Amino acid sequence: MIALDLSPAPGAAPALRTFRAQALMELKLVLRNGEQLLLTIVIPTVLLVLFATAPIADLPKPRIDFLLPGVLALAVMSTAFTGQAIGTGFERRNGVLRRLGTTPLTRPGLLAAKTSAVIAVELLQVGLLLLVAWALGWSPHGSVAAVVGLLLVGTAAFSTFGLLMAGTLRAEATLAAANLVYLVLLVLGGVAFPLSDFSGGVRDVLQYLPISALSDGLRTVLAHGAAAPGRDWLTLAVWTVVGGTTAARFFRWD
């Protein structure tokens, strides 16, 4: 007869297990939130269809080739930055993050879990937007690896700053600031209007915004079939490093 050792073995769960559990919970919370789904899926899709089919602005032809990369960048920003900042900000106000802080989950672990859930939602977004664009006459070209790489780096950049905002500001301030940034970058980030519409000095500043770099990189690959400029990769990498380092240092649980 085999003797079983049933003595208690207290200790924290492995880091990978806590990460997986938290990432799955974050994904469930996002998919249950109707307001976030409106922001992350419905608005980018409506914007793509509206600007591609109606002569709202004087855009480069074919319109869908210009619009799709910018709307993909907007979808990443809406999920990784705006939606995540607002959701996490209210979790912090309601004491959810304080309770998580008593678990073995570390700050980097929480940031990684939230970012992983964001990536899962973005897979749904990108798939939907590509289908809509194809129905509107878009044909795929360019490097798939480059597009995926740009989307991942862009996600990391927006996610870190969304979490930084949520972990340092009050929930109400985060709500207002995140929506304001969303609207400003929608207009100034090369999403639906070319940066060439702005004067030289303003354009030189705007091109270093994360959404401008992501839009430009995706447009270069998807619309022109060329390699994304090194400047866009570097811009997104710098935003990611700065945002991630700052968020890990100053993010507060309560």
Closest alpha carbon to 33 in 96, 102, 90, 112: 90
The pLDDT of residue 1: 53
pLDDT-derived band at 180, boundaries 50, 70, 90: very high
Q: Which domain does 151 fall in, by range?
A: 16-249
80: pLDDT strictly greater than 70: yes
Considering only residues 22 and 153, tell me which one the structure prediction assigns the higher pLDDT: 153
Q: How high does pLDDT run on average in the chain?
A: 85
- 108 burial type by CB count under 10 A (0-12 exposed, 13-18 middle, 19+ buried): middle
Determine which of 39-43, 89-93, 142-146, 205-209 has the lowest per-residue pLDDT on average: 39-43
- Over residues 92-107, mean pLDDT: 76
pLDDT-derived band at 9, boundaries 50, 70, 90: low
Phi-psi region for residue 11, left (φ > 0), alpha (ψ -120 to 50) or beta? left
Q: For residue 11, tell me if it sits in a domain.
A: no
190: pLDDT strictly greater than 60: yes
Q: For residue 1, tell me if it sits in a domain.
A: no
Q: For residue 74, tell me if it sits in a domain.
A: yes
Q: What is the pLDDT of residues 47-64, one digit of tens each?
A: 899 888 877 767 778 889
241: pLDDT strictly greater than 90: yes
15: pLDDT strictly greater than 80: no
The pLDDT of residue 253: 72
- Over residues 30-50, mean pLDDT: 80
103: pLDDT strictly greater than 90: no
Q: For residue 10, tell me if it sits in a domain.
A: no
10: pLDDT strictly greater than 70: no
pLDDT-derived band at 73, boundaries 50, 70, 90: very high
The pLDDT of residue 131: 93
- Over residues 95-99, mean pLDDT: 79
Q: For residue 8, tell me if it sits in a domain.
A: no
- Over residues 94-121, mean pLDDT: 78
Number of domains in the chain: 1
Identity at 202, one-letter amino acid code: V
Q: For residue 2, tell me if it sits in a domain.
A: no
In DSSP notation, the chain reads -PPP-------PPPHHHHHHHHHHHHHHHHHH-HHHHIIIIIHHHHHHHHHHHS--S--PSSHHHHHHHHHHHHHHHIIIIIIHHHHHHHHHHTTHHHHHTTSS--HHHHHHHHHHHHHHHHHHHHHHHHHHHHHTT----S-HHHHHHHHHHHHHHHHHHHHHHHTTS-HHHHHHHHHHHHHHHHHHSSSSS-GGGS-HHHHHHHTTSHHHHHHHHHHHHHHH--PPPHHHHHHHHHHHHHHHHHHHHH----
Q: For residue 6, tell me if it sits in a domain.
A: no
The pLDDT of residue 213: 94
Alpha-carbon gap, residue 1 to 201, rounded angstroms: 82
Q: For residue 7, tell me if it sits in a domain.
A: no
The pLDDT of residue 11: 61
Statement: the pTM of the whole predicted model exceeds 0.75: yes
